[in-house]
Structure 1
Amino acid sequence: MDELQLVRDRAVDVPLPDLAELGAARARLLAAAANESRRKTAKRRWQAGAATLGLAAAVTAVVSFAPTGDGPLTPPRAAADPARVLHGAAAQALKLPDTPPRPDQFVYVKTQYANSNREAWISADGKHDGYVKQDGRTLTLPGCVDGKYRVEGANNPAANGTEEPCVVTPAYRTDLPTTADAMFGYLNKNHSGDAGDANAMGKDVQLLAGEAYLPPRTKAALFEAAAEMPGLQAVDHVTDAAGRPGVGITWPGHGVTLVFDAKTYAYRGTTQGAVVGYGIVDHVGQLPR
């Protein structure tokens, strides 16, 4: 039996690579075929033929996937399933302690970027003055009381001491849904873009996951709802802005990749900004213990 001819017949529509391309794999094939052809009994000959056919099919498969130079190679699909990652993040969120902050406390968030850090103290009830520090600059986040906030002169000298209308935006969000369907409806209705705008929904997911303090069931619902967004893609072997490895989730039109721990699926931040500090503190300037 001419095993090489059999391979050529089975791969007639696929150009074969040369011997250098097949390398060690082809050598093993020829050796196996030679060994089988030396069998003497009819039973052995039949087995050899079957083995050769199997080997030929394997080579055909190898040939079929070999680059031909006709076009660019397609990158392999990510091993991670984006929905599975987000469901895992939801399960991880349910393990977080449910310890509501007091109204007068602050949510502390430290975000690491490529060349700077940002520290924020955000009022838990939205009615106390918060604070942001980045690149040596400070910014007051004025609390909203009775529908108005007082303009700080350091931030806006021309309006120093005046009051502007505002809407209370607490860092501790007890007003959000606790089920995936209800959360998806909320995101679809309340984001800044048009209904069905996955990019705008994704930005809201990023903001709520990184700069708000959510009860465990609410945070789990957020990730469960995110898993239903159209166009999700997983990105293997990414690192957040702090250099921590993980698995990424992105979607069309969104320039930022959310990063989750590859084993626990805990949320880490994004490829552009990693959450490296997070907790509840009693006053501006204090750090979590």
Structure 2
Amino acid sequence: MDELDLIRTRAETVGFAPAERLAPARERLLAAARGPRRHRPRRRLWVAGASVGLAAAITAVVALTPADQVGVGAGVAHADPVKVLTAAAHHALKEPAEPPRPDQFLYVKTEEPEHHIREVWFSVDGTRDSLIAGVKDGGCRNGKAPMYGTNDPRKEGTLQDCTPRPVYRTDLPTTADAMLAYLEAQAGDQKGNVNSMGKSVYDLAYEQVLPPASYAALFEAAARVPGLTALDHVTDGAGRPGVGITWPVPPGSSPAAKPEVIVFDATTYQFLGTPETAVTVKTYVDEVGQRP
């Protein structure tokens, strides 16, 4: 590793300080560089020492600078998972509480790295045909739903038994205790699997809608799950910066298993998505195909 690599590594680790805070360190380094070097054999040692000194000077400046002055954003440095999720619950309570009409559709636009876009239109009450990434999903009416996308022309449009699946969830708890019990029940035979609970939290925040009180209960319940950690300086699938909450992989999992990471805005604590998927638009429209 040469001196530039060393400096770059240190800078990436601790962030950048404003130019005016680096000016004194810069002057000291330039003064040292202009100093006499009478013995040529010591030159190589001086260069290496200057590299370490520059990295240390940068580290000292940024380490003593408040977090909101080194480009990492307020609320990001030394994030605590309980505080982040509690703040997310408070943010949820500020969201508009007016429910959608049953005949409307939830429109969600998500973005993945390299600008891959996904769009969905879900029936609010589950009785109308939805459109999910270009594929129709039959609404459930009178206990029957048409089948689409079966790859079998003989089955296309035929009816099957169903139960309506409203995308606007009014059936969920509004207290942290009850929501935690709900999340544990969702894990089924994997009870105690916190990664599974993390996926349930993500699913409810991703392409479904809860009343504000239920969203607040969801994040408050999540804050009680043991083993969570916060990740500073993460980005969602659209590249937006935020703070991540990591749900640990259970003991005995496959080596290929990855922890669930949910990303929140570091200032407002609004749910953003994951490092792979970002929710960029989420609203109600009156018909399939309509965009806000």
The partner residue of 2:221 within 220, 225, 229 is 225
Q: How far off is 1:155 after superposition? A: 5.3
- Supply the distance in 2 between the matched residues of 1:196 and 1:151 (Cα, whole angstroms): 36
Q: Which residue type is aligned with residue 282 of structure 1? A: D
> How do residues 45-194 of structure 1 correspond to structure 2 at under 5 angstroms?
79-115=78-114, 116-133=116-133, 138-152=134-148, 156-191=152-187, 194=190
Aligned mates of 1:237, 1:84 — CA distance in 2: 16
Q: For 2:211 and 2:100, how far apart are their aligned partners in 1?
A: 10
Tell me how far apart the structure 1 counterparts of residues 135 and 188 of structure 2 sit (CA, whole Å).
24
Report the CA distance between 1:158 and its aligned residue.
3.5
Tell me, what secondary structure is at the counterpart of 1:109?
Answer: strand
2:184·2:191 contact (CA, 8 Å) conserved in 1? yes
Deviations 1:230-267 (A, max 9, x none): 21010000011111101000111253311111111111
C-alpha displacement of 1:167 = 2.5
Name 2:65's counterpart in structure 1.
Answer: none
* Inter-partner Cα distance in structure 2 for 1:205 and 1:226: 8
Larger Rg: 1
CA deviations on 1:102-135 (whole Å, 9 max, x unpaired) are: 11101111110124111000110011111023xx
Paired AA for residue 96 in structure 1: E
Of residues 246-255 and 173-182 in structure 1, the stretch that sits farther from structure 2 once superposed is 246-255
Structure 2 CA distance for aligned equivalents of residues 23 and 272 of structure 1: 38
* Whole-Å separation in 2 of the counterparts to 1:272 and 1:202: 15
1:162–1:195 distance in 2 versus 1, CA, 3 Å = same
**Partner deviation per Cα, 1:28-52 (whole Å, 9 max, x = no partner):** xxxxxxxxxxxxxxxxxxxxxxxxx
**TM-score when normalising by structure 1:** 0.69
Change in CA separation of 1:235 and 1:282 when aligned onto 2, cut-off 3 Å:
same
Q: Contact conserved, 1:245 with 1:262, CA < 8 A, in 2?
A: yes
Task: Determine the structure 1 residue equivalent to 2:8.
Answer: none
- Which residue does 2:260 correspond to in 1? 256
Aligned CA distance change for structure 1 residues 155 and 110 (closer, same or farther; 3 Å)? farther
Measured in 2, the distance between the counterparts of 1:114 and 1:153 equals 27
Q: Which amino acid aligns with 2:196?
A: A
Partner of 1:273: 277
Residue 245 and residue 177 in structure 1: after superposition, are their counterparts in 2 closer, same or farther (change >3 A)? same
Deviation at 1:172, TM superposition (A): 0.3
1:236 matched to 2:232: yes
Kindly report the root-mean-square deviation, in angstroms, between the aligned alpha carbons of the 2 structures.
Answer: 2.3
Q: CA deviation at 1:225?
A: 0.8
| Aligned-partner Cα distance in 2 for 1:155–1:173 | 31
Secondary structure class of the residue paired with 2:273: strand
Normalised by the size of structure 2, how large is the TM-score? 0.68
Amino acid at match of 2:202: Q
Q: Against the structure 1 CA distance between its residues 130 and 23, is the aligned structure 2 distance closer, same or farther, given a 3 Å change threshold?
A: closer
CA–CA separation in structure 1 for the residues paired with 2:149 and 2:230: 46
Q: Say which SS state the counterpart of residue 235 (structure 1) adopts.
A: strand
Say which SS state the counterpart of residue 257 (structure 1) adopts. Answer: strand
In the alignment of these two chains, the number of paired residues is 214
Greater mean alpha carbon deviation, residues 249-258 or residues 268-277 = 249-258
Contact 1:140 1:155 in 2 (8 A): no
